[in-house]
Structure 1
């Protein structure tokens, strides 16, 4: 029984490490649907995000006003902005 407990603890820590390693961009800033939308578009840095306009990001499934407000606030804190449309 003790061996099963030890094995379960080891497996849970392995799963936690794998989860963190895959897609932790904006973790704690945006909810999973918005983060998955960015991941689907291969946006995994603020630099890549700055290549998009606010309107383009709002079109992604999983993005709404709340996610956009949080994202803009985070971008402002890091002196990054969206691409402007002419």
Structure 2
């Protein structure tokens, strides 16, 4: 079963720039990601639309969502 404290690295197939951008912002787990708005994550340099193809379903599978704007 997927957990909210699962690490993003090694769980999702994101580009290296996306992984670096998330890590630099302190987003290591899905619980960390849930503390951000989707827009703020999208504004990180290195995170593009293709990243959300992986991130969105992974968040939902863990019963998480992005922080409300």
Q: Which protein is richer in helix relative to its size?
A: 1
Count of residues in correspondence between the two structures: 62
Q: Give ranges in structure 2 of 5+ residues lacking alignment.
A: 1-6
Q: Give ranges in structure 1 of 5+ residues lacking alignment.
A: 1-23
Do the aligned partners of residues 51 and 28 (structure 1) sit closer, same or farther apart at CA in structure 2, a change above 3 Å counting? closer
Structure 1 runs (4+) deviating above 3 angstroms are none
TM, length-normalised to structure 2 = 0.79
Rg larger for: 1
Relative contact order higher in (CA < 8 Å, ≥ 6 apart): 2
TM, length-normalised to structure 1 = 0.65
RMSD, matched Cα: 1.4
